[in-house]
C-alpha cells in the first residue's frame, strides 16, 4: 500500500495545499517558522544566528527566572508532567485551585478560572455569555480569538471604530433596543499597535446600558498599572470589569490563561465554557511556574518599571530619528513600513545586524500597513536599545532614499 504523500500522482490534499499556498505566496504573505535556540532571554539564537530579541512577549523576562524554573520542576515532581484529565474529571489538582485563589487575590476579585490559552479563554467565554438574539460589541482591531469566539457564539457582532469612544457609544445606542443581552469586548493593549483601549469610558457607558465588559488583557497583565494588574488598574477600573481575561504565557512567563470576575461567573464558565470543559487541564509545571511569577510581579516591581523605561527610550530614540511609532504608548512598538516586501526586507536586514524585530503582515494587520513590531524586555540594557534604534534608523534612511 502506498502511504499518503508517497504516491507518484499528486494527492487531492497536496493539490489543495498548493492552490492555497500559491495564492498566499502571490499576495506576499507566505510565512515560515523561524527556529529559536537557547534559554528564553534578551539574547537568543534565531535560525542559528546570535541576536538580541525584540520580538517576544516574555516582557518581564520571568520565563527563565530561577525561582520560576524551580517551581515548574517542583510541580512536575510533585504532581507529574500532566494534569491527567480535564478539570471536571480527574484533572482538577490542588495546584489549579491554589493558582486560581491566588489570581483572585492578585486582582482583588471573587474568583478566577484557568484556561489552557488566551485563545481558548476567548472562544470559551464568549459563547458562554452570548448567543442568538444577543449582540457582541467589538473594537475593529480586537484579537482573532475574540472574532472566532463570536463566530462560535453565533451572536450578532457590532463593530466600532478602533479606540473611538464616540463610535462605541453610537454602536451601543443603535443595538440596544433590539438586543436581549450585550457583551462588549476590547483588548487592553492592542497587540499590533501598542495603544491602550479607553477602558474607563467603555466600562462606564456599557454599565449604564446594562451591558457587560470582557477585557482581554493579554498584553497588559503584569506590565501596566501601579501594581502590574494591567490595563484596568491603569485606567482606575480594576474592580469594575465584569470579565477580565489575561494570559500566563506572556509577561507571566509560563503558559495558559485565566479569567477573573465574580464567583457566579466562574461557576457559569465551569458549567458552560466548552473550551474549558472539553480539554485537558494545564500541566502542573505551568501552574506552579505561574504561581511564583505572580509573587515576583509584586516582589520585583523593578521589572515593569524597567520595561516602561526601555519602551520609552525606544520610542523616543526612534522619534528623534524621525520614525513614527504611533499610536503606541506601551511596550508594543510598531514601525509601519507599508508594503510587505519592504517590511520583510528590513526585518531580514535587522537580523543580519543582530536584532530580531518581527515583520508583521496581513492578516495580522490591515493590508498596506505591514510593520516591524518591536517589543523590548525589562532586562534589555540601554546600549542594546540604542543599538537597535541606530540600526533601524540606518535602514530606514536607506529605504527612504
Ligand X SMILES: Cc1ncc(COP(=O)(O)O)c(C=O)c1O
Instruction: Please give the residue ranges that form the binding site for ligand X (CB under 6 A).
Output: 117-119, 143, 145, 187, 191, 216, 218-219, 247, 249, 257
As measured in angstroms, the least distance from the Cβ of 162 to ligand X is 13
As measured in angstroms, the least distance from the Cβ of 141 to ligand X is 10
54 closest CA partner among 246, 230, 315: 315
CB closer to ligand X, 155 vs 254: 254
Output phi, psi for 338, to 5 deg. Answer: 95, -85
**d(C-alpha 144, C-alpha 134), whole Å:** 20
CB closer to ligand X, 124 vs 317: 124
As measured in angstroms, the least distance from the Cβ of 219 to ligand X is 6
34 closest CA partner among 348, 274, 245: 348
Q: Which residue has 508594503 as its cell numbers?
A: 339
Q: Where are any strands of DSSP class E within 117-189?
A: 135-139, 156-160, 182-187
CB closer to ligand X, 117 vs 155: 117
Give start and end residues of each alpha helix (H) in 164-262. 165-175, 199-208, 231-234
CB closer to ligand X, 222 vs 317: 222
CB closer to ligand X, 51 vs 123: 123
As measured in angstroms, the least distance from the Cβ of 393 to ligand X is 28
As measured in angstroms, the least distance from the Cβ of 236 to ligand X is 21
Which cell is 288 given? 506552579
CB closer to ligand X, 258 vs 396: 258
CB closer to ligand X, 121 vs 175: 121
As measured in angstroms, the least distance from the Cβ of 122 to ligand X is 6
Secondary structure (3-state) at 156: strand
> Dihedral, CA atoms, 197, 199, 201, 204, nearest 10 degrees?
150
Interhelix angle 263-272/118-129, nearest 10 degrees? 100
Give start and end residues of each alpha helix (H) in 189-329. 199-208, 231-234, 263-272, 274-277, 284-299, 302-320
As measured in angstroms, the least distance from the Cβ of 321 to ligand X is 28
Interhelix angle 382-400/302-320, nearest 10 degrees? 30
> Dihedral, CA atoms, 7, 10, 13, 15, nearest 10 degrees?
170
Amino acid at each position: 500500500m502506498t502511504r499518503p504523500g508517497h504516491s507518484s500522482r499528486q494527492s487531492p490534499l497536496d493539490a489543495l495545499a498548493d492552490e492555497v499556498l500559491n495564492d498566499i505566496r502571490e499576495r506576499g504573505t507566505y510565512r515560515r517558522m523561524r527556529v529559536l535556540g537557547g534559554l528564553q532571554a534578551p539574547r537568543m539564537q534565531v535560525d542559528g544566528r546570535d541576536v538580541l530579541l525584540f520580538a517576544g512577549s516574555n516582557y518581564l523576562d520571568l520565563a527563565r527566572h530561577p525561582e520560576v524554573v524551580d517551581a515548574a520542576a517542583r510541580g512536575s515532581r510533585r504532581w507529574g508532567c500532566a494534569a491527567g484529565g480535564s478539570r471536571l474529571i480527574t484533572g482538577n489538582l490542588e495546584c489549579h485551585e491554589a493558582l486560581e485563589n491566588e489570581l483572585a487575590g492578585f486582582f482583588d476579585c471573587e474568583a478566577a478560572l484557568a484556561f489552557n490559552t488566551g485563545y481558548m479563554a476567548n472562544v470559551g467565554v464568549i459563547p458562554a455569555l452570548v448567543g442568538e438574539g444577543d449582540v457582541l460589541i467589538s473594537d475593529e482591531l480586537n484579537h482573532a480569538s475574540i472574532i472566532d469566539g463570536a463566530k462560535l457564539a453565533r451572536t450578532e457582532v457590532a463593530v466600532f471604530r478602533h479606540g473611538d469612544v464616540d463610535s462605541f457609544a453610537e454602536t451601543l445606542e443603535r443595538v440596544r433596543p433590539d438586543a436581549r443581552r450585550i457583551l462588549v469586548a476590547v483588548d487592553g493593549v492592542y497587540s499590533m499597535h501598542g495603544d491602550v483601549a479607553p477602558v474607563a469610558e467603555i466600562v462606564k457607558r456599557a454599565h449604564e446600558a446594562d451591558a457587560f465588559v470582557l477585557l482581554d488583557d493579554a498584553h497588559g497583565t503584569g506590565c501596566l498599572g501601579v501594581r502590574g494588574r494591567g490595563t484596568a488598574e491603569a485606567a482606575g477600573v480594576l474592580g469594575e470589569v465584569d470579565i477580565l481575561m489575561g494570559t500566563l504565557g506572556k509577561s507571566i512567563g509560563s503558559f495558559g490563561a485565566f479569567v477573573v470576575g465574580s464567583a457566579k461567573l466562574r461557576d457559569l464558565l465551569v458549567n458552560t465554557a466548552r473550551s474549558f470543559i472539553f480539554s485537558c487541564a494545564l500541566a502542573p509545571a505551568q501552574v506552579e511556574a505561574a504561581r511564583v511569577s505572580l509573587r515576583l510581579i509584586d516582589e520585583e516591581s523593578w521589572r515593569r518599571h524597567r520595561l516602561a523605561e526601555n519602551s520609552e527610550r525606544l520610542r523616543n530614540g526612534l522619534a528623534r530619528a524621525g520614525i513614527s511609532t504611533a499610536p503606541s504608548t506601551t511596550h508594543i512598538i510598531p514601525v509601519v513600513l507599508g508594503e510587505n516586501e519592504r517590511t520583510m526586507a528590513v526585518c531580514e536586514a535587522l537580523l543580519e545586524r543582530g536584532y530580531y524585530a518581527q515583520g508583521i503582515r496581513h492578516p495580522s494587520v490591515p493590508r498596506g500597513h505591514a510593520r516591524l513590531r518591536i517589543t523590548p524586555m525589562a532586562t534589555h540594557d540601554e546600549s542594546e536599545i540604542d543599538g537597535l534604534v541606530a540600526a533601524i534608523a540606518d535602514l530606514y534612511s536607506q529605504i527612504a532614499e
